[in-house]
Amino acid sequence: MNKSTTEEIRDRFDRDVERFSNLETGQVSTIDAKISLELLTDAAREIVPNAVNLLDVGCGAGNYTLTMLSKIKGLHCTLIDLSRPMLERAFERVSSQTTGQVETIQGDIRTIELIANQFDIILAGAVLHHLRDDGDWESVFRKLYRILKPGGCLMVSDLITQENELLNHFIWEKYGAYLENLGGREYRTKVLDYVAKEDSPRSLNYQMALMKKVGFLHTEILHKNLCFAAFAAIK
């Protein structure tokens, strides 16, 4: 199957701002979305309590940054997203919750140029699964490492696969049952077809190893439930 293009992904999010402005509706298909969100932001506060600069990659309507601002006040926030309507909503919401500067950048993290050693915290919530081949994954992880300050942290919450084919099939069948319990067989088919078309997730082991390869000093798994995980890396 040919995967969705960047333009197709952008167009879909352009039309879905309202849903993604609310965790109750925007993350209904994501298992333990609220648990992961709270864990990542609480952990970031513990790692970098005096953080000043925050980057939110694939910020959507700003839910991750807003939660981070409830833990550390006054952060300067840089928001990146493919979708201009998402960025506009995120800017509006985030600006009302911080005394710091808020900058928006419309574009793809793969091509955006950012200054080295700039950010104390990088949030990447439900975005890295849109990366495609191994080259994409390594170049983006290298970039995220480079733009973090020493002692800074990368906090990731995302869809994942399992490395073992039998276990991967088992886990995704369990996820399918979860979706069916939420919205019936039609909803299960809709979500899984969308994942097959749009997403290219990698295993947790793959991503943790890649974090080490590009130079991160520490990596930590904070939470995992079926095909979703929250994890962190410290420079």
pLDDT, tens digit, for every residue of 148-162? 999 999 999 999 999
CA atoms of 87 and 33, how far apart (whole Å): 21
DSSP letters, 134-152, are HHHHHHHHHHHHHHEEEEE
Residue 4 confidence (pLDDT)? 84
Domains and CATH numbers, the chain: 6-162+201-234 (3.40.50.150)
Residues of the chain with confidence (pLDDT) below 70: 1, 23-26
- For 61, what's the count of Cα atoms within 13 Å in the CB-facing half-sphere? 15
Residue 8 confidence (pLDDT)? 85
Residue 3 confidence (pLDDT)? 86
Residue 164 confidence (pLDDT)? 97
Q: Are 53 and 79 in contact (CB under 8 A)?
A: no
This prediction has a pTM of 0.95
Q: Are 125 and 157 in contact (CB under 8 A)?
A: yes
Residue 229 confidence (pLDDT)? 98
161 DSSP assignment? B
